[in-house]
Every structure is written in structure tokens, then in C-alpha cells.
Amino acid sequence: MKLCLLTEIISPYRIPVFNALAGHPEIDLRVIFLAETDPSMRQWRIYRDEARFSYEVLPSWRRRFGKHNIVINTNVATTLERSSPDVILCGGYNYLASWQALRWAKKNQVPFLLWTESTAHDERNRHAVVENLKQAFLDDCSGFVVPGKSAFDYVSQMTGSENIFIAPNAVDNDLFTARSQAALAKSARLRGELGLPDRFCLYVGRLVRAKGLTDLLQAYAALNPEIREQLGLVFVGDGPIRAELEADARSVFPGSIHFAGFVDRDELAAYYALAECFVLPTYSDTWGLVANEAMACGLPIVCSRVAGCAADLVGANGILVTPGNISQLSAALRQIYANAELRVAMSAESCRVIQNYSPECCANGIAKAAIAMVTGRSCGNVHREPISAAM
């Protein structure tokens, strides 16, 4: 069947999923991107050479007004008409093109699936206007594809729909595992080249306030001086609060705090491989695919309870903390630092759990949703139990 997938940009972490979906025997995939990339937020390289699926990029106009990202596309209806899909999967509801696609689907009686990661902890949920628009959009969807338990529960609460399908969020596990193993084989040289401490906790992502990075810095500073002499803290990524974090870091002594800046996908695995643990102290994150990457590299995870991935990915392989609780976060860092046996056990569990979050698993979930919408061969409530880290 013809599946049209409408999504924002050519994200490197989605390409393996789309490749797997294009290889599904019952799916004829066409991906429609609203833009190649978002230069205002991301510095990602565009891995066009890795795409083994049919796609096109719509003409677009983009502007950023404060926190709001406006993208206006042309040819949405024309492109859908030409593609003649049996089912549409739309990645989000916050672009004009999403509403145009929904209107086209209703007019042409084509099933319309929303692929959403929203959870009850999403900070955007606090705005009445956004919530009203979201509810109107959800009410017109035929079904939903979600990455895990938190999003499933939220969409179920918002819609009462029986057509909610789990497509586990995924990155290219094989790539990160292979690159991390290669990095470990030359760890001494890499530490010198990258200027990394012998032992360190790692954060990867945008340097923005909502990620809880000030809390992480304070939690590190609260560690005993003896621990900070042995354990560093590394931030990989860039963003508007970098200068503030760097200024605060200068007051932490003893300690080793390193800001690596933006690092492209192919170099990221070296940081994961050499780290003691990965930390995601976020206040609002619909998922957090960096946790997938870290787990594929065998890292223990310290994660905020409100992260969308927390309910699915973090069990015996890590420690969940309450966002904003600095003493709890500091205690988690101390516990992982002090217990080598625990680190080994958590590492093994991360490697085990992440196997259920592969591009193939995600693609199969999407394919089941599309097939169900068109043929009625299965129903959403078959997929009500998401994969859990506790398996």
C-alpha cells in the first residue's frame, strides 16, 4: 500500500527508520519533508547519501519569532494528489502543512495517522490556545503512532481512541555500537585529542534552560571535592545558555568541566564510549533520543522522570530523578561513580533493552498502523502494551 509520510526535516536519526520502512514488503513509502533542515536550531549534517527511500522536499519559507518556528510550504495538496496515498502519516500538528494534509485527507477520504511524541509533561501543554488547536487536530485523526508509554497514555487520555499504535523510538543502534567499540580500542589517544577527563559524566543535546543543565552543574558542584578531583562533567552541544553555563563552571573547584560544542553524529559515539554515565536532567522532553544513543553505546542512564523515554528505557540500567531535585541528581551521580559493579550491570542492561528499540522495530510499528487503517486487519488495542525497560 502507498504510505505518504509527512515530516519536518531530514533528521539523521530518522533516516534508518525510513530505510527500514521502505524495505517493508507491504509498504510503498514516499516521504515528504517540509524542509531539508532547521538552521536556527540544528547544525546537523544532511546524510542524503544514506537515504534508501523515495522522498521530496517541499518549497518552504521559514522564520523564527522568539520560541516559535514558522514554516510555510507550498504544493502540499498537489504533492499528495500526485502521490495518491492509501494512508497518510503526519509527524506533528504544529505546522500549516500538517493542517493542509489533514484537510486533504478528509476531503479525499484517506486515513490520516498522527505520529506524535507529546506527553502530559510537555511544557507546551500549558498554553490554552495550543491545547485547543491540538484537540481539534486530534479529533480529526483516524489513528495515532506513538513512541512509548508516556505518549500512549497522553493520546489515550486526549482522544479515547482505540487506534493507537506503538512504534518504538529508535536510532541506528548498530552504528553507535560499532563506533563506540572502535573508540574504546583507542581510548587513550582519543581522550587526549578531545581533551576529556579520565572519568566523566556526559550530557548531549541543546544547551537550553528546559534541559535542566543548571541543575546538572549544581549537582556536580555538590559532589564531594574528592569525587570531583576524579570525576569530570562534559557537555556536548550548543545553545543560548552556553556562556552562562561556562561562567558558572569556572567557579567550581576542584573539578573538570568541559564544553565540547556541537558534535556531528559520526563523532558522537567517541564521547559516549569514554563516559562513565549519561545524564538527561530535563524538565520537558517528549522523548530524548540521546538516551537511545547512549544506551547503544552501553552507558548507564541518569534521567529525569518527565522525559518521554523514561518510562520505556530506564529501569535496571539507570536511575530516575525528579526534575529540579539537585540533591537527588547529585546522589545519583555519586552512586554510579562509587560502584563499579553497578556500572557494569547497568551497562549490560542498557545494551539488552535497546535491542527492542531498533529502526526495524519502529518501522514495523508504523507499518502495522498503516495496514490496520487501510485493511482493518488488526486494531490499535492489540498494541496497548508498550515495550518496557523492565522486560
CATH number of the structural domain 2-170+358-383: 3.40.50.2000
Structural contact between residues 83 and 4, judged by C-beta atoms closer than 8 angstroms: yes
pLDDT at 63: 76
Number of helices and strands (H, E) in the chain?
16, 15
Residue bearing cell 531530514 = 10
What pLDDT score does 388 carry? 43
Per-residue confidence (pLDDT) for residue 389, from 0 to 100: 45
Q: What is the pLDDT of residue 129?
A: 79
Q: With beta carbons less than 8 A apart as the criterion, state whether 150 and 310 touch.
A: yes
For 82-103, the pLDDT digits (tens) are 999 999 999 989 899 999 999 9
CA–CA separation, 42 vs 27, rounded Å? 30
> Which pLDDT tens digits describe the chain residue by residue (391 residues)?
999 999 999 999 999 999 999 999 999 999 999 998 877 666 778 899 999 999 999 998 877 766 667 788 889 999 999 999 999 999 989 899 999 999 999 999 999 999 999 999 876 556 777 788 889 999 999 999 999 999 999 999 999 999 999 999 999 999 999 999 999 999 999 999 999 999 999 999 999 999 999 999 999 999 999 999 999 999 999 999 999 999 999 999 999 999 999 999 999 999 999 999 999 999 999 999 999 999 999 999 999 999 999 999 999 999 999 999 999 999 999 999 999 999 999 999 999 999 999 999 999 999 999 999 999 864 444 444 444 444 3
* pTM assigned to the model: 0.93
Residue 144: per-residue pLDDT? 98
Q: Which CATH superfamily is domain 173-356 in?
A: Glycogen Phosphorylase B; (3.40.50.2000)
Alpha carbon distance 187, 295 (integer Å)? 18
What's the rounded Cα separation, in Å, for the pair 118 and 323? Answer: 18
> What pLDDT is recorded for position 384?
43
- Tell me if 2-170+358-383 shares its fold with 173-356: yes
**E strand map for 225-379:** 232-236, 257-261, 277-280, 301-304, 318-321
Strands 277-280 and 164-166: unpaired
Q: What span, in angstroms and rounded, lies between the C-alpha atoms of 286 and 123?
A: 9
Q: Please, what sign has the CA dihedral across residues 132, 136, 139, 144?
A: negative
The count of other CB atoms within 10 Å of the CB of residue 38 is 17
Please say whether the dihedral angle defined by the alpha carbons of residues 31, 34, 35 and 38, taken in this order, is positive or negative.
Answer: negative
Nearest CA-CA partner of 329 in 313, 305, 309: 305
Report domain extents, the chain.
Answer: 2-170+358-383, 173-356
Q: What is the pLDDT of residue 38?
A: 78
Determine the pLDDT at residue 46.
87
Q: What is the pLDDT of residue 67?
A: 64
The distance of Cα 204 from the centroid of its chain, to the nearest Å, equals 12
3-state secondary structure of 63: strand
Q: What are the grid coordinates assigned to 177, written together?
A: 555500537
Quick one: 150 exposed, middle or buried, by C-beta within 10 A (0-12, 13-18, 19+)?
buried
